[in-house]
Amino acid sequence: MTPRIREILSWYGADNPGVLTNLARMLNHGRLGGTGKMVILPVDQGFEHGPARSFAINPNAYDPLYHFGLAVESGCNAYAAPLGFLEAGAREFAGEIPLILKVNNSDSLYSDKGGPISAMTSSVDDALRLGCAAIGFTIYPGSRERKQMYEEIQMAASAAKEAGLAVVIWSYPRGEGISKQGETAIDVVAYAAQVAAQLGAHIIKVKPPTEHIEQAEAKKVFDAQGIKVAKLEDRTRHVIESSFNGKRIVIFSGGAAKGTEEVLAEVKSLAQGGSFGSIMGRNAFQRPKEEAIQLLHSVMDIYQG
């Protein structure tokens, strides 16, 4: 246990030894173990976007075991997926990598732009049965269905913590009151991170924020207080600050598929802004395995400094 991991665990004083042990499992695993930084492989895209859109570019990725292997061989801190993918490989890869069960999911066959909401697709009991270290849950701040989502994560997080599991919240603002550009606006992303922290997340996943400021009232404060937004490094720093002044683990999604240089340039800015790490799916598993491992290693090297 390194001093940095002890420091991070000290931020979660309300949690029982089981939760702290599972946080430590993830923070101490893989190539970044002990640094306080994380790179997680998430593969929920098959459920969220469909198999062809997710896996056809690299047909090996249709196989759930491929993703377990990629996460293990690349030295990720953890692997996150919905119930079916984890059930397919949890026995064969038991003990080889910490697992995060994504307990709610949605599909792209139906879209409600004003009220996006994910369905509960698995449970804390499933996470315990599969040997997971944490549960994952998506919220959409700004959705008209946010009341139901907030109540669902309250119940799921309470059960998870009682069982000794950590809680990871994907916080993606969406809804009729937020423009498409506003979904990644700096004020909105920072707000989404704050909401996830207030809902009891141990680890918060948000998208890299853009320079755009969506809310007129927020813009007044950003201008008056001189909050810097021109560089991704500065915007990242504000999101971290908005997450209990950096006392919650905040990691950033890799987003849509992009070129290697673009991925690494973005990660460098995130790291300079104090990001705790990246959670990178399509930009990894849609590449040939060796190329994906090389990319993930390069990302890890950036976070190691």
Residues labelled as active-site residues: 205
Rounded to whole angstroms, how far apart are CA atoms 210 and 170?
18
Terminal CA-to-CA distance of the chain, rounded, Å? 20
Rg of the chain over Cα atoms, rounded to whole angstroms, equals 18
Nearest to 254 by CA among 215, 232, 281, 288: 281
Kindly give the pairing relationship between strand 38-42 and strand 78-81.
Answer: parallel
Pure H helices in 94-164: 124-129, 146-162
- Is 281 within 8 Å of 66 (Cβ atoms)? no
CA dihedral of 17, 22, 28, 34, whole degrees rounded to 10: -50
Could you identify the residue written with the tokens 């190329």?
291
Q: Structure tokens of 213?
A: 């400021």
What are the phi and psi torsion angles at 71 (to 5°)? Answer: -65, -40
Nearest to 115 by CA among 88, 90, 135, 143: 143
- Is 24 within 8 Å of 11 (Cβ atoms)? no
- Is 278 within 8 Å of 251 (Cβ atoms)? yes
Rounded to whole angstroms, how far apart are CA atoms 281 and 257?
9
Q: Structure tokens of 1?
A: 């246990």
